[in-house]
A and B are shown apart, each in its own frame.
Chain A
Amino acid sequence: MGDILSNYDILGAFWMTIKLSVLGTVGALVLGTVLAVMRVSPVTTLRAIGTSYVNVFRNTPLTLLMVASILGMTYILGMSLSDDQQTNIFRWAVIVLSVYHAAFICEAVRSGFNTVPVGQAEAARSIGLSFGQSLTQVILPQAVRGSIAPVGSTIIALIKNSTVASVIGVSDAAGMMATIVENETGTFGVFLIFAVGFVILTLPLGMAFTAMSRRLAVRR
């Protein structure tokens, strides 16, 4: 066991998992919020685009998207995001994680929109706020507060789903575990190290989101 810990850069692998997760989360939050706004907008075309996006990406396996990004986008279509092979793979992994989880973030934020009573929008319009101002000043802040708990769940899922990036060769925690199992041994000890690693990443996050959803809840 000691050899494994000293011979393999497990912390480095988890650092890669953290980088994937943080960048993937940022992308998913931005894209997901835009999609949610599209899905509740009064414009039919925007609503249709938002709905199709969610249906396509929520119902496609993440592994398939991951593999398609390299085999399809890079090798067949030649869309390389960096001359360096490892960097290209990493960037595609971040994009796929963002694009896939944006569908779930969108639905979480949309459920937040549903917690905002119609009267809030009417009041916003009645004091002369424009559509954009009503959205950014009144509706979105309340929708976001109403969606903290489900968004938290999605982010935790994203962190664990980031392990799928190892299938296209990103050297994250899951990739490292596979390497160790292949080269050394597949004991429970090895699995435990990685399981504990993920618990350390996700458990405090889950607690933080629960606390935040209570503290920021909009009282009506």
Chain B
Amino acid sequence: RILMSVTEIRSGFTAIKANIQARDPIRTLSILSHPQSLHKVKSSDRCCIIHNLFNFYMDKVFKHCQTEDSYINRKISSIANSFLSIKKKLEQCHNQNKCLCGQESTEKFKQILANYEGLNITSAAIKSLGELDILLDWMEKSR
């Protein structure tokens, strides 16, 4: 059922993608895809990266993406609540120790946090939200 919630997130994101990405003028930096791509993550590290990234989006991204547009805010709420419902399901895996973090994924996630902290909080949050399809593409491709 995670897949179906991901489909709902994808649909919510598609509705706001152009608007959110237009608010991110920085072409030369990425939070998720550079310098190291998500697509290079080993499958054994997948669960840990997804778990960390869902926490990252819940704790550091959605709450800093308030806009003046109520439609955009409602869609962000919809995505955030879908994230929360997936996060709770992932927590079951994490609590049963099926989601261990290897050295590589720990480094990878540190890099993502470093990219995020390299910008001011609102720009970093909007950029992260605008890169949601990078996360979804990677999750769907490697399921």
A binds B: no
Taking beta carbons and an 8 Å cutoff, which residues of A are in contact with B? Answer: none
